Structure 1
Amino acid sequence: MKRFWNIWQKISLIQKILVGIVIGIILGLTVPNWAFIGVLGDLFVGSLKAIAPLLVFFIILTSLAKHEKGSKTHLTSIVVLYLMATFVAAVAAVGAFYLFPVAIVLPRVGEIAQSAPQDIGTVLKEILLNGIANPIEALANGNYLALLFWGALLGLALRSFSTTTKNVLEDISGAISSVIQLLIQLAPIGIIGLVYNSIVATGLSGMLEYGKLILLVVGTMFFVSFVVYPLMVFFMIKENPYPLTFYCFKESGIPAFFTRSSAVNIPINMRLAEKLGLNEKTYALSIPLGAAANSGGAAITISIMTLAACYTLGIETSFPLALLLCFLTAIASTGASGIAGGSLLLIPLACSLFGISNDIAMQVVGVGFIIGVIQDSVETAVNSASDLLFTATAEFHDLKKVGEKISVKDYVKRAQLND
């Protein structure tokens, strides 16, 4: 047992997670009635999601409170990359669907309790109202837009306070990060429960009926992650983008795949940004911001599901409408984390562009929940990995712009040595 424990301590977290996956599959196939195993996954995700809003709030609050006027950050470049990436992801999704159109079965799904927004005005209103929601309620409900807004205001107000006050805030933020890091170390146990639940609920062949749709959605996400985003990175840093791309996806995307929450993955991204040697004053703001606003994966999901509904119903999608769909999904998905139900409940909004009734659109949402076992995990992995990718890209770009000679590949190698 001691020898096993020593070996377990030496292997990486990702390797431990892979072990957890294998165990979860075996248990799901052999003992599907042992419901207590699935509870491990519920406890793991529930505990992370419970403390993640608190972490986001204090990270934003502390970072802005300690930010010195005139100090150099790279937020402008990062925000531009976030917005551009979300729009480009929507365009890629439209292009992928034109190349590989897929019809979907629209089952008589049960009534979904949550209400979906019906027009762009409603979406914008929801985003604004969610942004100024009661901060206490925001902490309880995981409303990250409100946490970003109030955390930023309070952080700016605290800039003129004493160093002691700022140090206390930093200690609280550090303590919360330490708790989450401890929980993340328990990820392999939680993964056993999560995989077990998926196997029991759907079986290995349970997703075959929607296999083509899943392949299109997931395939587009991988195309965006490993072709489109690297091209954007290359344009910015004029170097081979793949060492940085693969590093971000392996170290950030894989954990996010299992937690299904970009917010929960914030501590991992912060730690990886530190390993890459990035500016703490930048990534302490950009990583939480990306968890709420960088939503290329959501834009892909909304676009493809909407076009699949049109294709199924025999509705022609003209180029101007498709382009409008890209703009709409880019805007809507940016605020998806602040809208009840996330990206799937924005599908009726996009469907309204093509005159699809809400009843049918909600059936499409039902299909989205069915494929969500895979779609949501990959979407989160894409979003979280790109938060780190674009934060690093923006900083390297700005450093090169002012004449500093740096090698992004060397940064990645140093980060890998620090693992």
Structure 2
Amino acid sequence: MKRIFKNLTFQVLTAVVIGILLGIIFPDAAKAMKPLGDIFINMVKMIIAPLIFFTIVLGIAGMGDMKKVGRVGGKALLYFEIVTTIALALGLIIANVVKPGSGVTLDPTQGQEQVAEYTKQGAEMGFFDFIIHIVPSNVVDAFAKGEILQVVFFAVLFGFALASLGKTGKPVLDLFDRIAKVFYKIVNMIMRVAPIGAFGAIAFTIGNYGLASLLPLGKLMLCVYATMFIFVFVILNIICKIFGFSLWKYLKHIKDELLIVLGTSSSESVLPRMMTKMEAFGCSKSVTSLVIPTGYSFNLDGTSVYLSMAVVFLAQVSGVDLSLTQEITILAVLMLTSKGAATVTGGGFIVLASTLSAMHVIPMAGLALLLGVDRFMSEARAIINMIGNGIATIVVAKSEKEFGVENNESVEQDEKSPAALRV
């Protein structure tokens, strides 16, 4: 019994349930819990940028072979583009078949101030702006603001430079290895308060928005959740079978991370742990250190499903009958704009705004409809993004023959060990 209470899965699940109940019964008190979730997310964000930097540098410099680095990066980006395109297409197809926007009334006065702000930011976020954004003008500023993509770019350059020094760079590599271990120790300390963070975040969400706010857009939510379920257990499961590993065993291995993301609505909250978990699952450190951080900007499967369905939903609500050509155009635009969804706050809405402004077909006012339920769908987006990034890492590791079968087979035994039951 004592082991169960010390288990992170049990603690987070209990915290989420208590948070939901508090939000339903005492909504005002639940709203006051918001700082608990914010503090936990800030604690995680505090160490993400430096941890990603050291991990990527160690991975690249440890490889030694620069051709291999380019090959791994190329495979990862190709995989990301193929799978996110499938996710976008799946969302478009199901939204057209089910028609979640039929029967929903558009209130032109609802949330227009927020819509105007998102529209302004969306108009400013073009494809070339995204490309320019990748390269930091100030490295210190990139670390200070937690710009993951900019940190990844600088870390790759630093890793290449360090590797080219050979034996001269060995002392720096050893120092970075020791510093990285310190950061992973900090991660373990932060995860001890994960249940409190999950409780605060979910309690605020339910208390602030209320379950009643889900009813008018319940059909859209059901469609999004069902489509994401199909994406994971059909599309990703097929990928798992092709590359010879079990989806269920993988999901079981990251069950703690799934629950933390469910409570916090942020896949960033488990980024450091996911890198550790993927190494424990059998992926090499060098592949994991490149694929996971890059995937957080380029492999947003859950966000892709949501964006394509949201655009079609808004067209249906606005009475716009999209032609096949227009829907293919939507797919093409989203393939570009969705890559910037993780680089800015409120990325999902801003990407939607930039997509609608690029098309000039669907009225921007429809965005207001999504404001109330977006928070309830963000959990699903974050969970699918995280699951997809882990699978991408395994696929690339297997293609590089850097997946330890012996590690994979010992996962279940490791999870049952006393050490695994501790937070």
Equivalences for residues 13-52 of structure 1 within 5 A: 13-34=8-29, 36-52=32-48
Distance 1:50 1:372, change over 3 A: farther
1:8 alignment counterpart? 5
Unpaired segments of 5 or more residues in structure 1? none
* Number of residue-to-residue matches in the alignment: 404
> TM-score, with normalisation over the residues of structure 2?
0.86
| Alpha-carbon shift at residue 96 of structure 1 (Å) | 0.7
Moved >6 Å (runs of 4+): none
For residue 38 of structure 1, what is the amino acid of its counterpart?
K
2:89 alignment counterpart? 91
1:144 alignment counterpart? 148
2:196 alignment counterpart? 189
Distance 1:411 1:328, change over 3 A: farther
Matched, 1:118 2:114: no
Distance 1:215 1:314, change over 3 A: same
Matched, 1:218 2:229: no
Match of 1:268 among 259, 269, 273: 273
| Alpha-carbon shift at residue 267 of structure 1 (Å) | 1.6
Instruction: Answer whether contact 1:321 1:353 (CA < 8 A) is retained.
Output: no
| Alpha-carbon shift at residue 295 of structure 1 (Å) | 0.8
Match of 2:395 among 393, 396, 402: 393
1:229 alignment counterpart? 236
Distance 1:191 1:395 in 2: 32
Instruction: Answer whether contact 1:58 1:169 (CA < 8 A) is retained.
Output: yes
Instruction: Answer whether contact 2:198 2:260 (CA < 8 A) is retained.
Output: no
| Alpha-carbon shift at residue 216 of structure 1 (Å) | 1.3
Instruction: Answer whether contact 1:40 1:189 (CA < 8 A) is retained.
Output: yes
Instruction: Answer whether contact 2:282 2:407 (CA < 8 A) is retained.
Output: no
> TM-score, with normalisation over the residues of structure 1?
0.87
Instruction: Answer whether contact 2:184 2:272 (CA < 8 A) is retained.
Output: yes
Instruction: Answer whether contact 2:283 2:394 (CA < 8 A) is retained.
Output: yes
Instruction: Answer whether contact 1:294 1:387 (CA < 8 A) is retained.
Output: yes
Q: Single out whichever of 296-305 and 42-51 deviates more from structure 2.
A: 42-51
Equivalences for residues 135-214 of structure 1 within 5 A: 135-159=139-163, 160=165, 161-214=168-221
Matched, 1:304 2:309: yes
Q: Deviations over 1:291-336 (max 9, x none)?
A: 2211111111211111111112222222232223223212221222
Match of 1:283 among 281, 288, 291: 288
Match of 2:132 among 129, 133, 136: 129
Distance 1:96 1:411, change over 3 A: farther
SS of corresponding position for 2:268: coil
Q: Deviations over 1:217-263 (max 9, x none)?
A: 2221121111111122323x2x4643345336635433323333333
Distance 2:252 2:416 in 1: 12
Q: Single out whichever of 79-88 and 257-266 deviates more from structure 2.
A: 257-266
Q: Single out whichever of 127-136 and 287-296 deviates more from structure 2.
A: 127-136
RMSD, aligned CA: 2.8
Distance 1:302 1:163, change over 3 A: same
Equivalences for residues 241-256 of structure 1 within 5 A: 241-247=246-252, 250-256=255-261
Matched, 1:378 2:380: yes
| Alpha-carbon shift at residue 354 of structure 1 (Å) | 4.6
Distance 1:384 1:415, change over 3 A: farther
Instruction: Answer whether contact 1:40 1:194 (CA < 8 A) is retained.
Output: yes
> Identity across aligned pairs (percent)?
20
| Alpha-carbon shift at residue 383 of structure 1 (Å) | 0.6
Distance 1:54 1:407, change over 3 A: closer
